[in-house]
Structure 1
Amino acid sequence: MEIEGRAIVVSGGGSGIGRAAVLALAGRGAKVIVADLDETGGRQTVDLAGAKGGVAVFRHCDVTRTEDLAGAFACAFEHFGRLDVAFNNAGIGGEDLFADDPGDWAKVIDIDLTAVIDATRIAVREMRRSGRGGVIINTASMGGLLPMAGSPVYAAAKAGVVNFTRSLAYLAEEANIRVNAICPSFTDTPLVRRSGDEHVEEMGRMVGGILLPEDIAAGVVDLIEDDSRFGAVMRVTVRGGRDFAREVRPY
């Protein structure tokens, strides 16, 4: 799919990977809905896109609310008259499950898995209704392909995104809707930096380096433009660059 002129919804577009994707897509002529709970960050992304000559509109969106997700996709039709791509990217970090206060681990499932399923469901319905097909990209993680002893719920949520995405490969033939997942390794984002610079540097040493959000945005561009990919799982790592996990054919 050519990116120029396409209407794209990016959740979590207010910072990090989402912001980098918005800027990359708007820079290629896409019209982007920046869907985020963080209004300040979301509007900053819109301004950055506009400064580069891109077209972007902010939409407040809590991805755990179905009505907000539906509103973000409706916003694409309202402003641009179409919906071509959904990048379901919003997510949060892991948890300390066995600590005295394990945090709201259920929220990790709600945002990192349930919201991705809900957003995909809504986007597919809208794309089927338009009859033009489309592309859906779901942000997973290398933690969805490998164990994460420190964040088992996060790993479980991202593994769910991977298998959910693979299970929708049939939509390419049935409705001309390509659903793919992207699995970044450790990426330098504001969310990650909340754990402290020392922790970030330590994790970078453990995994062989730290990716930049722009590295992931380049993968998103590839997945949109490559019409041969559906049900695919793109890995993005420092050592391996962009490649694909072994394809798994549905029963």
Structure 2
Amino acid sequence: MPMIPASGYFPDFLTPQNRQYGGIESIIESVAGSPENVLRSQLDLLDRGRGSAWLERLYEADLTAREDLRKLLRDYHRVALAPYWNAIRNSVEADRAIRTRALLDGGVHGLLHSYLPLMRWTPPVLHVRYSVDQTLRLNGRGLLLAPSHFGQGPANSLADPALPPVLVYPAGYDRTAAPVTVRALGRLMGGTRASILIATETAATSGELARRVGVSAATVSHHLSALRAAGLLSTLRQGELILHTRTSTGSALVNAARPPGT
């Protein structure tokens, strides 16, 4: 807790840009194995006056303190992340589907406009609800937009402006989705629902799905309710649009049904 205060700055090395993803262990190692100069420069920005002996040992790059950090991260992953990984992945993938739809419909401008009201795009400036008054100049660098399942309120970025620019924002996902039950899964049988599930590979409105599948809007609405209850589909609002997209579970079901080699 001394390393992650309730508000204000926390070290950038806790959110590494692990481009070569090799599982949770590779990410843990990216954090715990941070270079000594990185540890010291970033921990210097913390209020370490509360006298955490462990934090002081980590500041000195003590090997035991680093191993403690590895164990803490593994334990946290086991307790707080692993049991809920499907929900976490679903929320991020649903947000990605919404942004992909916005990009396809309106290009980069459409994508950036899709973040209202959290962000406001007035070219060439992206105004973001943020906890402090700050200006980040990209100077030709790209900006990584990262949806966060745990995000609440304003967006966040790395404190060090020299690091590759990253903007973490709350994922827009269906927070009212009902828990999956055996009874709900039993309602899924039928060709129309299967067709709708296949058609939601990209985010679509109810009207678009009705045209794709060739049924009435009322029929689509009925089947969408069953698909949501079974955890196979998410429904999100994007501006005035209500869009539907498959969850990772729904995609896994569709992919499992594909003939080999397709």
TM-score by length of 2: 0.28
Bigger Rg, which one: 2
TM-score by length of 1: 0.29
Higher RCO (CA < 8 A, seq sep 6+):
1
More strand as a share of residues: 1
